[in-house]
Homo-oligomer: A and B are copies of this chain.
Amino acid sequence: MAAFLGTPAPRRLRLGMVGGGQGAFIGNVHRMASRLDGHFDFVAGALSSTPEKALASGQELGLAPERIYADFNTMAAQEAAREDGIEVVSIVTPNHMHFAPAEAFLRHGIHVICDKPMVTSLSEARRLSETVRQSGCVFVLTHNYSAYPMVRQARDMVLNGELGTVRVVQVEYPQGWLADSAERSGTKQAVWRTDPAQAGAGGAIGDIGTHAFHLAGFVTGLEVDSLAADLTRFVDGRVLDDNAHVMLRYKGGARGMIWCSQVAVGGENGLRLRVVCEEGSLDWEQENPNHLSLARKGEQTQRITRGGAMAGAAATAMTRLPAGHPEGYLEAFSGLYTEAATLIRAKQNGQSAPPGNLAPGVEDGVEGVAFIEACVRSAKQNSGWTRLER
């Protein structure tokens, strides 16, 4: 197992957070992820856009009173001014509130860990990319599924060529929690995700389709040339898509398909990736993440286990426990945080990023937003093939 996972370096990085106050889901995930491997101390936050809630949340989480902020601009300025100010900030707000805080912290030289989709328009995405470049800061986008050890294993096997040319990529992502109009009954997670003002132009395609899209590219290394999307709204009164079928044509001739849905009753978080290559196929399911199924041509299916005999270096680097001791969602998420820590420390020490550090960055964010926009454009053109513009 990897030396760096779970064995913290002596000094922890000072971490702040924007969003993630009381009632939020993903904020707590980020905080747990930041703690597991011991690389961060959470010390400051603008945890809600409602000042009272920001205060109450900060108190509940044990922040020092003077480091509980009511707005992220103040936080960026004041933390940058402190000797013991935060070195990195996690942005865990709804999509429309990623861009402004990211810009603010980067301009103060504070590294950023940001939720996905990165921003709500391609123009914002390009501007943010430029800001990151200029700032010299680390920017990590939490496409957390890419940090599962068996996903790293899959990527390694595809990219090292042992399975031959990729032919077909199938990604599916069924969820069922929006089968009803949960937004009307006030479920916080549903309200902002179904509101174009907060979520952007993509519904399911933005919320989970971008994960599917990123995962496919991450594992195969392929770039989408064009796509044909059929976006659907099944729930009355909903404005954004809650089901999407997307056909993909990759550069070089591979074909792909994404199905993502938030009305698939019974679906929990059913992300699954299958990669069909000339010499073998891979199959991975997020809900059963400790195994990867491998079928080589002319052989029988094998089950590669995290921590097991066939797991290679890329998987091992993200592994904390031996086979049979299941790791899950938080471990993968923590893996990204640890990769972020490694990148930040390298930067602080004037070193280049260590090899094998695969944390998704700002360009992945641009690509994801480009994907959403291409899907929406294709859907408006009756599913016509639409080029992905980056």
Task: Please list the residues of chain A having a beta carbon within 8 angstroms of any beta carbon in chain B.
Answer: 6-11, 25, 28-29, 31-32, 35-38, 60-62, 167-168, 170, 172, 174-176, 179-180, 228, 230, 232, 234, 243, 245, 247, 249, 255, 257, 259, 261, 263-270, 274, 276-281, 283, 286-290, 293-305, 307-310, 320-331, 382-385
Contacts and interface: CB of A to CB of B under 8 A. Distances in A.
A268 B323 contact: yes
A361 B7 CA distance: 28
Contacts of A10: 62
Contacts of A305: 268, 300-301
Contact of A175 (B234, B301, B324): B324
Q: How many copies does the complex hold?
A: 4
25 contacts: A6-B31, A11-B62, A28-B320, A35-B38, A168-B263, A170-B172, A176-B281, A176-B297, A179-B278, A230-B247, A257-B259, A266-B283, A266-B293, A269-B322, A287-B290, A287-B326, A288-B326, A298-B309, A300-B310, A301-B305, A303-B303, A325-B329, A326-B328, A328-B331, A330-B330
Given A245-B257, A264-B281, A290-B287, A325 B276 contact: no
A117 B309 CA distance: 29
Contacts of A277: 265
A214 to B, nearest CB: 17
Given A29-B321, A287-B326, 7 more contacts: A8-B62, A10-B62, A266-B283, A266-B293, A300-B304, A321-B330, A383-B385
Nearest to A28: B6
Q: Top 7 nearest A-B pairs by Cβ distance? A: A266-B295, A269-B324, A268-B324, A326-B328, A10-B62, A328-B328, A325-B329
